[in-house]
Amino acid sequence: MTVTPDRPAPSAAASSEPTITDRFVEANRVYAQTFRDGGMDARPVQKVTVVACMDARLDLFAALGLDLGDAHIIRNAGGVVTDDTIRSLTISQRALGTRSVVLIHHTGCGLLGLTEDFRRELELEVGQRPQWAVESFVDLDGDVRQSMTRVRTSPFLLHKDDVRGFVFDVHTGLLREIV
């Protein structure tokens, strides 16, 4: 559904409570009123890709001092380096000029409590085993190292000399580098 900025969102006008998506549409209408096209290129200014967990407490732009247009951000559950992460990294480097990779996991990650039993339970429930691994982990630092290794050993990437990994502390806001 397309909602033009100068028209109110249909659901918001109805008597029922607006959903979160209705609120997004309204917020976007306000955003677009002051939005100015900076004429930015699709190539990230800082030539960097950040791979991070999707955790809702992680504000990457604020935590890393990023501005709009600075970086590619790839996020998934855990910030793990899957085949699809490598797909995006490959496009980021080969088509859009990035050179550095920063990996960010964090304390209190939802994946820390999961095991691969999650897949078996899913299979029992729906009768189909997912093709993807859960990529759960018990050792945060070890998983950051594993992710760095996956990036550094990928045959598809052009630039593997500047790959660094961190754990973000959700209580202090500080990054701790994993070496």
Contacts from 169-172 at CB under 8 Å and sequence distance 24+? 169/106, 169/107, 170/55, 170/57, 170/58, 170/106, 170/107, 170/108, 171/107
Site for Zn ion in 96-135 (CB under 5 A): 109
Q: In sequence order, which residues have a C-beta less than 8 Å from that of residue 123 and are 6 or more positions away?
A: 129, 130
Report the helix count and the strand count for the chain, using DSSP H and E.
6, 5
Provide, rounded to whole angstroms, the least separation between the CB of residue 54 and Zn ion: 7
Look up residue 107 and give its DSSP letter.
Answer: T
3-state secondary structure of 89: helix
Stretch that binds Zn ion, among 26-34, 53-61, 121-129, 145-153 (CB under 5 A): 53-61
Binding of residue 53 to Zn ion (CB under 5 A): yes
Stretch that binds Zn ion, among 15-23, 48-56, 87-95, 170-178 (CB under 5 A): 48-56
Binding of residue 81 to Zn ion (CB under 5 A): no
Provide, rounded to whole angstroms, the least separation between the CB of residue 170 and Zn ion: 9
Provide, rounded to whole angstroms, the least separation between the CB of residue 56 and Zn ion: 9
**Residues touching Zn ion, count (CB under 5 A):** 3
Residues in the site for Zn ion, rule: CB under 5 A? Answer: 53, 55, 109
